[in-house]
Amino acid sequence: MSFSKVSFLIFILFLLLCKPTFSDLLLTSKDLPEIPINFLNFAKQTEVFDWMVGIRRQIHENPELGYEEFETSKLIREELDKMGIPYRYPVAVTGVLGYIGSGKPPFVAIRADMDALSLQEMVEWDHKSKNPGKMHACGHDTHTAMLLGAARILQEHRDLVKGTVVLVFQPAEEGGGGAKKMVEAGALENVEAIFGIHSTTFLPVGEVASRSGPFLAGSGSFEAVISGKGGHAAIPQHSVDPILSASNVIMSLQHLVSREADPLDSQVLTVAKFQGGGAFNVIPDSVTIGGTFRAFSKESLMKLKQRIEEVIVGQAAVQRCNATVTFESKDRPFFPPTVNEGGLHKLFQRVAGDMLGTAGVNDMQPLMGSEDFSFYQEIIPGYFFFLGMKDETLEQPVMPHSPYFRIDEGGLPYGAALHASLAVRYLSESQTAARTYNGYHHDEL
């Protein structure tokens, strides 16, 4: 046996005796824990902060619905041009993909959604929506501003980018499944992992919250037309009443979760739409009902879908009516559950802890809300978390999707710095892991 092979075996024996963890092998640079604070300080500089606030307010004043984000996309591209960041456009109609770094592996993505909601803004301030019936009431304007902020941080610190960061500016998260279309358009080509932020009014500025594993529910929607025979309300025996039938359908649907689902497998089924009739003395020919159903596994979601159709059709028949049920459509795709990968959760805790301290990093219970970020997680490991942007001037936080939605723009530097820090740390640790693997690998062993 040669001296070199003896030396190599002694080295392997040393590693086994010391039992280093994977995390120990990755965290080899003393500079890594300092990066989040340095990035945050950069983002808090007056010039950078005011720039992000200006972008956020410009987008807020000009909200655009899903796949209509042409002006928002134009603004993003103008800012990327100013920073000298190459990009690909259009992607999924209005989406933009920016690229920072070497253009070579490893690749990591950070994502923001751009679309607004069909709401009339009721908040009176200088930057109120100028587009009637449209409003950024879910924080997507902050997401876009923070991702541009992260782009500026990364471009100014390109020497720390050990690979390639992909900036994903995505359309149509609010029901349109923009993430699915981005995936189909090749947004994740070569990408190993992806991170996403959602601002929240329920956490103070400087705090974050997330969890490993199932985080947000998968969701679907349904619509059913229940048809009977219309007639005069005074002589119901000559009619087949679809309103009565729909009422029985709704009551039966409520039993699916309470009596058929495992109590430890959280599910929700809500009928939120009931349309039928236009006069107090006329039985209509048909009634339309609709709603949403949610679960934390795709299997449970599909089982619930099957039973919803069976119950609607069956109960309608009991009342002598016919029913047709529709589910997924082009504008209403199913959203898979949002499931955070365990290794990325550990990385997030380290990075967020370095920036915010352990007190600012919160574990939270899963939520029944849904997010199309889950389409990315079906393809590659992904991690999604909430960023505190609570407006402390309000007595009570305002729920998202409210015409009174307000956030504290002081959270913008935190989101930008976290995006950039997660990307840099992921790439650095991926490179370290690759070098570690290559250094230990030996064909003769």
Which residues sit in the known binding site?
138, 140, 174, 198, 401
Pair of tokens at residue 444: 């003769």
Identity at 349, one-letter amino acid code: Q
335: left (phi over 0), alpha (psi -120 to 50) or beta: beta
Beta bridge partners of 273: 290
Q: How far apart are the first and last CA of the chain?
A: 13
Compute the Cα dihedral for 341, 379, 331, 59 and give only its sign: positive
Binding site as annotated, residues for Mn(2+): 138, 140, 174, 198, 401
Element (H, E) at 317: helix 298-318
CA dist 403 and 119 (Å) reads 6
Identity at 267, one-letter amino acid code: Q
DSSP string, 267-307: EEEEEEEEE--SSTTEE-SEEEEEEEEEESSHHHHHHHHHH
Distance of CA 106 to the CA centre of its chain: 23
Count of beta carbons in the 10 Å neighbourhood of residue 69:
30
Comparing CA positions, the residue from 84, 87, 29, 94 lying closest to residue 59 is 94
CA dist 401 and 198 (Å) reads 13
